[in-house]
Amino acid sequence: MFSFEHTAYLAGLLIIIPLTLLFYGVLRWKKKVRIAFGDETLINRLTKNYSSTRFGLKFILVIAAFALLVFAVANLRKPQTGEAEKKAGIDVMIAFDVSKSMWAEDTKPSRLDASKQFINTLLNKISNNRVGLVLFAGRAFLQMPLTPDFTVASLYVSNASPEAIPVQGTVLSEALQLCKTALDTKEKKYKAVVLISDGEDHEDIPAGILQQLTDEGIIVNTIGVGSVKGAPITEPGAASYKMDINGKTVISKLNEETLIKIAQQTGGSYTHLDNTGAAVNRVAALLNGMEKKAIQGAADTRQYTSFYFVFVLIALFILITEVFIADIKRKTD
């Protein structure tokens, strides 16, 4: 069935109305001018080579070309044979720690940049699934709900930074709770969370949230970023390391114990991000090895045959034709 991809552009056809009114206004003006001269015989002699029919034809051709170009921009298309693409996959929520401790450089070039590289590389290896994104620091926010559009997901990840969260700190439990809420609760499987963090949570994770995740069939795979030894935090543009209230340099350390606990109690696995390629392959294998369900592809994954070029070619032909039509009568007219 034929349809327009950008129906809003069809409103451009309304411009034809004022153009038509302007055309008839010009015709009325010309008629008034003829009458103003008074001598009809003289006027007919002076305008004997003028063709009002050709003038009207040129206007109709220009209007037709304009309408065709509007149709071209709206992109008339027809779906190709076959159903909309369906894929077998799972729902994956990515919980990304963007607290200021992620600026530490014990993982090069920084914990934050290494995490972004990990996530974007992972997205390329799990493209048959749906993915959502939660950013968290002192608060957790649903940055993107579940979608099969990985291009948008990658864009959000690339733009993520501590500035995106006004409240600093690390709230792993709130991030996990938000991921659980964003996942479908009707089924007790086909769901996973990938939690990327240095694990520096200043509050204990309630056992209840981990049990809820387990009860919902949500597997949490945790990714530890940084080193157990720790490193100072260098904020972009700052001349020195971050200091505490006592004037001492803040050392941020990877808390593997918490991340391992989360993974173990939800049936997941812990991975230390010391080698991006190896970490991605391991996590991708875990996710791709899970039991899958049928997932409807994004609307734009369906293949269409577009016909915009037909309208463009016809409009171009009409405009070229209009150029060669003069509003002066030929000798044989």
Helices 150-159 and 111-125 pack at an angle, to 10 degrees, of 180
Q: Tell me: do 249 and 121 sit in the same domain.
A: yes
The region that residue 71 occupies, defined by phi over 0 for left and psi between -120 and 50 for alpha, beta otherwise, is alpha
Contact predicate 209/173, CB 8 Å = yes
What is the Cα–Cα distance from 193 to 180, expressed in whole angstroms?
Answer: 9
Q: Tell me: do 124 and 235 sit in the same domain.
A: yes
Q: Tell me: do 210 and 285 sit in the same domain.
A: yes
pTM of the model: 0.63
CATH number, position 272? 3.40.50.410
What is the Cα–Cα distance from 141 to 182, expressed in whole angstroms?
Answer: 11
138 domain residue, yes or no: yes
Q: Tell me: do 24 and 154 sit in the same domain.
A: no
pLDDT at 3: 82
Q: What is the pLDDT of residues 232-256, one digit of tens each?
A: 888 776 667 777 677 788 888 999 9
Listed in sequence order, the residues at least 6 apart from 18 whose beta carbon sits closer than 8 Å to its beta carbon are none
331 domain residue, yes or no: no
Q: Tell me: do 139 and 33 sit in the same domain.
A: no
Listed in sequence order, the residues at least 6 apart from 298 whose beta carbon sits closer than 8 Å to its beta carbon are 147, 148, 149
pLDDT at 241: 74
- Of 14-23, 166-175, 234-243, 273-282, give the lowest mean pLDDT range: 234-243
Residue 131, both tokens: 């993915």
Contacts 24+ apart (CB under 8 A), 234-243: 234/103, 234/104, 234/105, 235/100, 235/103, 236/103, 242/100
Q: Tell me: do 157 and 267 sit in the same domain.
A: yes
Q: What is the pLDDT of residues 265-304, one digit of tens each?
A: 999 999 999 999 999 999 999 999 998 887 665 444 556 7
**Quick one: average pLDDT of 137-156?**
90
> CA 164, 170, 173: angle at the middle one, nearest 5?
110
Listing DSSP states for 243-275 in one string gives: B-TTSPBPEE---HHHHHHHHHHTT--EEETTS
184 domain residue, yes or no: yes
Range of the domain at 315: 3-80+303-323
Q: Tell me: do 58 and 187 sit in the same domain.
A: no
What is the Cα–Cα distance from 74 to 68, expressed in whole angstroms?
Answer: 10
Integer angstrom CA distances of residue 176 from 1, 136, 187, 196, 280: 44, 10, 18, 11, 21
How many domains does the chain divide into? 2
Contact predicate 298/149, CB 8 Å = yes
